[in-house]
Amino acid sequence: MKVNILNPGYIVSALFCLTLAAVFSAAPVLSMAAIAAGGTAKGQIQYKDKTVELKYAYVITGPDMFDPDKTETTIILSPTDISSQIASCDNQSCAGGLTEGMTLSTEDFGGTVRVVYWVVTNNGMMQYSGNTDTSALTLTTDTPEKKAGKMSVDASAAEGPKITVEFDAPLTKAFKE
């Protein structure tokens, strides 16, 4: 049987098959790119005369610095994609080394759990560390693999930042140290 490659039906069928092949071969690349880029954040930090628009969210875990038998979880929020920086780090302090953005976690202060946060802006020149009660943080997803929710803090009365952000952060890296 001879195939006429100029037949419109054959051309459409061949193009359809090529399109499907391209889509299915690109799907793993697209999903890996989404994972590599971390999760999403939408909100901002206003601190003094600076405003940082938060776009990316990451979760890192590792041993607690005071009790290595416990695991510490930190959410990192950034205006830029820092996934390659986190991937290249050997320890938690390297991964949290931002020049713009913030980190947040919860800390048990002798039976009272607080939300602890660190804000940095102006290329690392302006920083603020604070803590607030847990009502400032609402988690809609709280699993070892993912943290999602909202944080709202207004520490401007103490010359601190005003933070309003929603985030959906996957576990980006689990550190051994």
3 or 45, which is more confident: 45
Q: Are residues 91 and 150 in the same domain?
A: yes
Question: What integer is the mean pLDDT of 101-121?
Answer: 92
Q: Are residues 146 and 59 in the same domain?
A: yes
Q: Are residues 11 and 64 in the same domain?
A: no
pLDDT on residue 57 = 98
Q: Are residues 114 and 73 in the same domain?
A: yes
Task: Read off the pTM.
Answer: 0.78
pLDDT (tens digit per residue) in 85-110: 999 999 888 887 899 999 999 988 88
pLDDT on residue 129 = 96
Return d(Cα 156, Cα 133) in angstroms, integer: 16
Q: Are residues 124 and 147 in the same domain?
A: yes
pLDDT on residue 7 = 54
Q: Are residues 100 and 115 in the same domain?
A: yes
Share of the chain above pLDDT 70, in %: 79
Q: Are residues 24 and 60 in the same domain?
A: no
pLDDT (tens digit per residue) in 155-169: 999 999 999 999 999
Number of domains comprising the chain: 2
Q: Are residues 143 and 62 in the same domain?
A: yes
Q: Are residues 18 and 70 in the same domain?
A: no
Structural domain including 96 reads: 39-174
Residue-averaged pLDDT of the chain:
84
pLDDT (tens digit per residue) in 137-156: 999 999 999 999 999 999 99
Q: Are residues 18 and 49 in the same domain?
A: no
Q: Are residues 2 and 30 in the same domain?
A: yes
Q: Are residues 93 and 11 in the same domain?
A: no
Return d(Cα 142, Cα 87) in angstroms, integer: 22
pLDDT (tens digit per residue) in 33-66: 434 458 999 999 999 999 999 999 999 999 988 8
